[in-house]
Structure 1
Amino acid sequence: TASMVHNCCVPECPKAGYRIQDGRKVSFHKIPSREQIRLKWIHAIKRDPGKHFTISKHTKVCSLHFHEDDFTVDQFPINHKLRPNAVPSVFDFTPKL
């Protein structure tokens, strides 16, 4: 069976597949079902659900949009297990300070 290639739903993120150029693994994370944290994710990725964007079980955000400390330390980088309240915060469209 062919494994499904994941795509990142963040605007301007070209990430599809499981590795970046230097060989590091990239993981993909479902948008949380808990409404409070889900709304933070939607706001962070600048995508409002509607005609051009719907959230399904296949809607994922790649690990490149999280800081290393958003992941549980004992699992990083093997499993890329996100902390329960982690919100994506690393974006190309974030103004550089």
Structure 2
Amino acid sequence: MVKCCSAIGCASRCLPNSKLKGLTFHVFPTDEITKRKWVLAMKRLDVNAAGIWEPKKGDVLCSRHFKNSDFDRSTPNIKLRPGVIPSVFDSPYHSQEHSYSVMDSPKKLKHKLDHVISELEDTQESLRNVLEREKHFQKSLMKTIRELKDECLISQETANRLSAFCWECCQESIKREYIS
């Protein structure tokens, strides 16, 4: 049986060529708190129960409902980072929130604040990872420059210029790290 995305208005289906198109499908979390956050983010109602929709065991969401930063791409199999919440929805039901409507309840505002804080923490973690990788690459580049110079494959002047360039990049990286 072909799995379909559970988001309202999404026609994504898990077909053999889906992964080639960059489309992945993700089962709902087993952790009840995270699963509740997913369901609330979807804003899907159950017309039969007159309440919030509840996912069944085989229900999935496609990768279109997650930001690029929500994915861990460090392994061959693309996975969601732990604790991420889907946040990309295009259905008309999700665009009906207006700033001029009735003020949200404190509970809903707390939920939104928690979501923003979670996104901020994820972004900060992602930034730290990028900066660490950048430092690693800069060290590797400096080592390569030294090796090329030692083997007389580049001149001292070229080595100095390349080293100065790497030093400037490194200093910019450190400045950005302290700003965040």
Which TM bucket (shorter chain)?
Answer: 0.7 to 0.9
The residue type equivalent to 2:66 in the other structure is: F
Q: Does residue 1:8 correspond to 2:13, yes or no?
A: no
TM-score, normalising length: structure 1: 0.75
Measured at CA, do residues 49 and 85 of structure 1 come closer, stay the same or move farther in structure 2, by a change above 3 Å? farther
The TM-score with structure 2 as length reference comes to 0.43
Q: Which has the higher helix share?
A: 2
Which protein shows a greater Rg?
2
- Separation of aligned partners in 2, 1:5 and 1:54: 20
Q: Which runs of 5+ in 1 are unaligned?
A: none
Q: Quick check: 2:14–2:25 contact (8 Å CA) kept in 1?
A: no
SS in 1 for 2:26: strand
Tell me, which stretches of 5 or more residues in structure 2 are unaligned?
96-180
Q: Counterpart of 2:25?
A: 28
**RMSD (CA atoms):** 2.3
Percent of aligned positions that are identical = 34
Residues paired across the two proteins, number: 88
Cα distance in structure 1, aligned partners of 2:47 and 2:30:
17
- The separation in 2 between residues aligned to 1:27 and 1:55, in whole angstroms, is 18
Q: Does the 8 A contact of 2:25 with 2:61 survive in 1?
A: yes
Q: Deviations over 1:27-65 (max 9, x none)?
A: 111111111111110001112467364422210000111
Q: Greater relative contact order: 1 or 2 (C-alpha under 8 angstroms, separation 6 or more)?
A: 1
- The secondary structure found in structure 2 opposite 1:17 is coil
Q: CA deviation at 1:25?
A: 2.5
1:62 corresponds in structure 2 to 62
Q: Which amino acid aligns with 1:83?
A: R
1:12-91 paired onto structure 2 within 5 Å: 12-18=9-15, 19=18, 24-48=21-45, 51=48, 53-75=53-75, 78-91=76-89
